[in-house]
Amino acid sequence: MKTRTFAALLLAALLLPAAALAGGGRKVAPIADPVVAKECGACHMAFQPEFLPARSWEKLMADLANHFGDDASLAPAARERIRAYLVANAAGVAPGKESRKVADSVPANATPLRITETGRWARKHRPGEVNPVAFASAKVKSKANCAACHTGAADGYYED
């Protein structure tokens, strides 16, 4: 009896997702396409598509040769596959709260190329929430370095 109770408890603990133990929930779906994860994760963390509207991804994918000062060009087949994935899972397209909140935070006439330029991101990281000095610290270096502060970022966790 005792052994069985212990076994059941152990099983429950193993089945509990790590995030539930940490007290946070998954904010966005992790990237499910290995080509997107690999090609768009080569220089920085592969950002989840829900953080930008579809029109932003279209614009960004149309000029990878001039990508924030880098050349991130891809062969046409890979580029098309990635573009389709990003657009199909963009803010306002993917289900879920974060998707809708990001979409609602970008004016219809704006096409930001940076996640950090969306109203939703700016609000969540305003000076009262995050000390602006932190973004320039040696550990973080850039606002786009999400994983420096959100250790579970690649898996879609953003509440730590």
Using CB under 6 A as the binding rule, the residues of this chain from 91 to 120 that contact ligand HEC are: 114-116
What's the rounded Cα separation, in Å, for the pair 79 and 83? 6
Which region, judged by CB under 6 A, interacts with ligand HEC, from 5-13, 15-23, 43-51, 103-111? 43-51
Binding-site member from 119, 148, 154, 155 for ligand HEC (CB under 6 A):
148
27: left (phi over 0), alpha (psi -120 to 50) or beta: alpha
Q: Which two tokens stand for residue 148?
A: 């420096």
Q: Per CB under 6 A, does 145 bind ligand HEC?
A: yes
- Please say which residue, 14 or 138, places its beta carbon nearer to ligand HEC: 138
Q: Total binding residues for ligand HEC by CB under 6 A?
A: 36
Are 83 and 61 within 8 A, CB to CB?
yes
How many C-beta atoms surround the C-beta of residue 114 within 10 A? Answer: 15
Closest CA to 118 of 106, 107, 128: 106
CB of 15 to ligand HEC, least distance (A): 25
Using CB under 6 A as the binding rule, whether residue 85 contacts ligand HEC is answered as: no
Considering the rule CB under 6 A, would residue 154 count as an interface residue with ligand HEC? no
Distance CA 139, CA 155 (A): 20
- CB nearer to ligand HEC: pick between 6 and 66: 66
- According to CB under 6 A, which one of 100, 140, 154, 155 is a site residue for ligand HEC? 140
Instruction: Name the token pair of 149.
Output: 């502060």
How far apart, in Å, are the Cα atoms of 116 and each of 12, 53, 74, 87, 146? 38, 13, 24, 18, 10
* Chain residues in the site for ligand HEC (CB under 6 A): 27, 39-40, 42-44, 47, 51, 60, 64, 67-70, 72, 82, 114-116, 124-125, 129-130, 134-135, 140, 142-146, 148-150, 158-159
